[in-house]
């Protein structure tokens, strides 16, 4: 992707640069994960001051010459600020953690879906004035699914059988009894847990807020996520 890009952007990390500038690293709708330099952002007269902010969507213009470099923002306009939960520390932490996962796993081909998912999460957290644990885990499951590591939880990931008895992070999901034999990290799962995973996968964020996730389900999601992020890191090295 090269040339002048006009797209929507949600910053995830902010890095101070020189005296008055900031670098925003985040996700765009059309150009994947980018680092954008906002020159003179902190100056009172800056045209883009306040037009880009954490947990907000902005319309940005920037020029791409080389995909690895930091691109200078030509223009920016704030579109939505989802700040309803900003006073709640736990909520801010959960939304930031989701952002960090997004930076790690988003490739250009899935950027549009991930962007829309993160925007959806922020919108609901803003409306509810909270990002609950359930929203957080719902987002993780959906992100892993888009990244292709979280298959439909109703079938064995190896043979497609619908009689699932185990789940294995190394296999990347649920397994039937026969396929589970070759995975030492397998854990027995109850049908209730699979139902919860499936619910988090298919329901929208609004419905997820009125749902309670059990600790065992959270453990499994954490295991699957850690396994995937580790795999990703290995392949990136």
Q: Of 6-14, 35-43, 72-80, 179-187, which segment contacts Zn ion by CB under 5 A?
A: 179-187
Instruction: Please say which residue, 108 or 159, places its beta carbon nearer to Zn ion.
Output: 159
Among 12, 98, 176, 200, contact with Zn ion (rule: CB under 5 A): 176
Q: Per CB under 5 A, does 159 bind Zn ion?
A: yes
Instruction: Please say which residue, 69 or 177, places its beta carbon nearer to Zn ion.
Output: 177
DSSP string, 52-106: S-TTEEEEEEEEESSTTSPEEEEEEEEEEE--TTTT-HHHHHHHHHHHHHHHHH-
Q: Per CB under 5 A, does 15 bind Zn ion?
A: no
How far apart, in whole angstroms, are the C-alpha atoms of residue 132 and residue 114? 19
Instruction: Please say which residue, 178 or 226, places its beta carbon nearer to Zn ion.
Output: 178
Number of Cβ within a 10 Å radius of residue 111? 21
Instruction: Please say which residue, 177 or 219, places its beta carbon nearer to Zn ion.
Output: 177
Q: Of 48-56, 76-84, 168-176, 182-190, which segment contacts Zn ion by CB under 5 A?
A: 168-176
Number of Cβ within a 10 Å radius of residue 84? 19
Instruction: Please say which residue, 71 or 158, places its beta carbon nearer to Zn ion.
Output: 158
HEC-encoded secondary structure of 171-228 = CCEEECHHHHCCCCCCEECCHHHHHHHHHHHHCCHHHHCCCCCCHHHHHHHHHHHHHH
Q: Per CB under 5 A, does 161 bind Zn ion?
A: yes
How far apart, in whole angstroms, are the C-alpha atoms of residue 222 and residue 137? 9
Q: Per CB under 5 A, does 156 bind Zn ion?
A: yes
Q: Per CB under 5 A, does 21 bind Zn ion?
A: no
Q: Per CB under 5 A, does 189 bind Zn ion?
A: no
- In the complex, which residues of this chain contact Zn ion (CB under 5 A)? 156, 158-159, 161, 176, 179
């Amino acid at each position: 992707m090269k040339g002048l890009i006009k797209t929507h952007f949600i910053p995830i990390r902010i890095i101070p640069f020189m005296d008055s500038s900031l670098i925003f690293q985040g996700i765009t709708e059309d150009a994947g994960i980018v680092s954008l330099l906002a020159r003179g952002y902190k100056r009172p007269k800056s045209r883009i001051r306040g037009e880009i902010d954490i947990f907000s969507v902005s319309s940005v213009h920037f020029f791409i010459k080389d995909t690895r470099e930091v691109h200078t923002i030509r223009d920016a306009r704030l579109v939505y600020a989802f700040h309803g939960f900003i006073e709640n520390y736990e909520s801010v932490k959960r939304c930031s953690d989701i952002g960090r996962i997004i930076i790690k796993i988003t490739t250009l081909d899935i950027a549009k879906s991930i962007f829309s998912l993160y925007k959806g999460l922020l919108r609901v957290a803003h409306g509810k004035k909270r990002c609950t644990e359930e929203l957080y885990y719902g987002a993780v499951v959906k992100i892993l699914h888009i990244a292709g590591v979280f298959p439909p939880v109703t079938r064995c990931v190896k043979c497609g059988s619908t009689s699932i008895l185990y789940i294995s992070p190394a296999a990347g999901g649920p397994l039937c009894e026969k396929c589970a034999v070759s995975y030492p990290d397998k854990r027995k799962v109850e049908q209730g847990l699979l139902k919860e995973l499936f619910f988090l996968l298919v329901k929208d964020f609004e419905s997820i807020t009125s749902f309670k996730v059990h600790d065992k389900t959270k453990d499994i999601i954490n295991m699957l996520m850690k396994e995937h992020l580790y795999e990703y890191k290995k392949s990136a090295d």
